[in-house]
Amino acid sequence: MFKKVKEYEGSRNIVVEDEAYGTDEVTLKWDGCIDYRMGSNGVKPSEDETGENTDYIHICDIDEMIEKLQALKEMGIKHFNNEYWKEEEKE
């Protein structure tokens, strides 16, 4: 899903990007935090000169963020109950 693209010399941070399109660029930091940049409209964050096609989020408690996103997904499923908001089939 992700591949390492850069390791900063002298620091313990690494940069990874999604293997499919390269539109998600993430800095995994030594302190447990991540800087997550998501490109839209096919633009890679590192190539977005204006920043208009890049969203950014800094996350230090990854597990808490996953819990919040799962809770939001559950709310969407319960509220909308359509083909866009559905439970994933588990194999």
User: Domains of the chain: which residue ranges?
Assistant: 2-60
| Residue-wise pLDDT tens digits, 67-79 | 999 999 999 999 9
Q: Residue 57, Cα to own-chain centre: how many angstroms?
A: 8
What's the whole-model pTM score? 0.80
**pLDDT (tens digit per residue) in 12-25:** 899 999 998 889 99
Per-residue pLDDT of the chain (91 residues; tens, 9 = 90+): 999 998 987 778 999 999 988 899 999 999 999 999 999 999 999 899 999 999 999 999 999 999 999 999 999 999 998 888 887 776 6
CA distance 81 to 91: 21
Strand locations in 1-91, DSSP E? 2-7, 14-18, 24-28, 34-39, 54-59
